[in-house]
């Protein structure tokens, strides 16, 4: 499905990002993955250490990719963190850290890659939002703001990067609760409650999300842009 495509996936060292990266490799893409802490060595994935909050590192990384491959066809903005607390108890540094990583980090790389795709007259950008960005959630003001903000950026970039025959599609995927290391700090009781709140009575596996990302990245979705695809088993918060 992705033969000949050059794909960048941020936060590809584990969880959803790693699953997307492996699926893209299987589908024939040249996959360039970034990581921040968890170095990985996986066949077919070219890894770079890039802190998405560091604009200099991001610029150097994008320059390297363009020097080597001359283009980017797919960008998956997946890197993200949580740091949960009720608003009245929120540590301000933790508020800033989550916004800087999830929202500003997505901006930092897309600001560079989006116009390159536009000049090339083609590309697909998939931003990983969250069910929490759609409904909000108790104890996640920083995360909810970042993930709602990503939806706003998706709608804006879909319009901007389509200008001048840009032909760049920009969509978001909003996963429900997905079994990755990100959920390790969530008590089991709460996870069971979330499971019951889905219509399908299960939490997502990373491959449920990766399959949706693959669809949006591929030419099968060539007339889909400016959309938010909910992949949450029918859950509402
Ligand atoms: N797991 C869930 O329930 C769930 C639900 C909805 C949305 N999401 C979103 O999906 C994405 C992936 O989440 P996951 O569950 O796989 O989490 P994860 O913690 O397993 O992986 C997060 C990835 O982001 C990378 N990352 C974090 N900070 C970074 C930084 N400063 N620079 C570069 N990379 C950085 C990490 O290295 C890691 O590879 C995130 O954006 C998350 O918000 C997850």
Expressed in angstroms and rounded, the spacing between residue 166 Cα and the centre of ligand 1 is: 29
How far the first Cα of the chain sits from its last, in Å, is 34
Say if 82 falls within a structural domain. yes
Domain count, the chain: 1
Q: Which atom of ligand 1 is nearest to the CA of 204?
A: 3
The closest residue, in CA terms, to atom 42 on ligand 1 is: 80
Query: pLDDT tens, 5-51?
Result: 999 999 999 999 999 999 999 999 999 999 998 777 888 999 999 99
Phi first, then psi, for residue 172 (nearest 5°) are -120, 150
Query: pLDDT tens, 78-125?
Result: 999 999 999 999 999 999 999 999 999 999 999 999 999 999 999 999
User: Which residue has 């990067």 as its token pair?
Assistant: 161
Say if 236 falls within a structural domain. no
The pLDDT of residue 75 is above 80: yes
Expressed in angstroms and rounded, the spacing between residue 90 Cα and the centre of ligand 1 is: 20
Domain extent, residue 85, equals: 6-231
pLDDT band at 73 (very low <50, low <70, confident <90, very high): very high
Say if 177 falls within a structural domain. yes
Q: E-strand spans in the chain?
A: 6-9, 30-35, 45-49, 74-77, 123-128, 168-175, 228-231
Active-site residue flag, 143: yes
Name the strands in the sheet holding 74-77, side by side, starting at the edge strand that comes first in the sequence.
45-49, 30-35, 6-9, 74-77, 123-128, 168-175, 228-231
Nearest to 145 by CA among 192, 89, 80, 202: 80
Q: Which atom of ligand 1 is nearest to the CA of 82?
A: 43
Nearest to 34 by CA among 97, 101, 90: 101
- List the CATH number of the domain containing 137: 3.40.50.720
Say if 99 falls within a structural domain. yes
Ligand 1 pocket: which of 100, 128, 182, 195 to mutate (most atoms within 8 A of CB): 182
Say if 59 falls within a structural domain. yes
Query: pLDDT tens, 119-160?
Result: 999 999 999 999 999 999 999 999 999 999 999 999 999 999
- The three-class DSSP label of residue 78 is coil
The closest residue, in CA terms, to atom 8 on ligand 1 is: 130
Choose between 38 and 167: higher pLDDT: 167
Say if 1 falls within a structural domain. no
Say if 63 falls within a structural domain. yes
Say if 42 falls within a structural domain. yes
C-alpha 76/C-alpha 185 separation (Å) is 25
Residue 37's pLDDT is 86
Nearest-10 Cα torsion for 11, 16, 22, 26: -130
C-alpha 75/C-alpha 11 separation (Å) is 12
- What percentage of the chain reaches a pLDDT higher than 70? 100
Residue 177's pLDDT is 98
71 CB-near residues (< 8 Å, 6+ apart): 6, 116, 120
Nearest to 112 by CA among 81, 150, 164, 157: 157
Q: Which atom of ligand 1 is nearest to the CA of 209?
A: 10
C-alpha 232/C-alpha 204 separation (Å) is 7
Cβ atoms of residues 103 and 146 within 8 Å: yes
The stretch 153-180 carries a mean pLDDT of 98
């Amino acid at each position: 499905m992705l033969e000949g495509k050059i794909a960048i996936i941020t936060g590809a060292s584990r969880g959803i990002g790693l699953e997307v990266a492996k699926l893209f490799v299987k589908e024939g893409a040249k996959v360039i993955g970034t990581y921040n802490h968890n170095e990985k060595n996986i066949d077919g994935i070219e890894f770079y250490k890039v802190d998405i909050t560091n604009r200099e590192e991001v610029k150097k990384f994008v320059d390297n990719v363009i020097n080597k491959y001359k283009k980017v066809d797919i960008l998956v903005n997946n890197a993200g963190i949580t740091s949960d607390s009720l608003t009245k108890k929120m540590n301000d540094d933790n508020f800033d850290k989550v916004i800087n990583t999830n929202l500003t980090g997505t901006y930092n790389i897309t600001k560079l890659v989006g116009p390159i795709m536009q000049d090339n007259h083609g590309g697909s950008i998939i931003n990983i939002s969250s069910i929490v960005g759609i409904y909000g959630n108790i104890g996640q003001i920083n995360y909810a703001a970042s993930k709602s903000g990503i939806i706003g950026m998706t709608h804006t970039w879909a319009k901007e990067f389509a200008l001048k025959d840009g032909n760049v599609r920009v969509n978001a995927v909003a996963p429900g609760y997905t079994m990755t290391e990100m959920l390790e700090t969530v008590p089991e009781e709460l996870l069971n409650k979330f499971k019951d709140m889905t219509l399908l009575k299960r939490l997502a596996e990373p491959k449920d999300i990766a399959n949706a990302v693959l669809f949006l990245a591929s030419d099968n979705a060539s007339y889909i842009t400016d959309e938010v695809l909910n992949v949450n088993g029918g859950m509402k918060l």
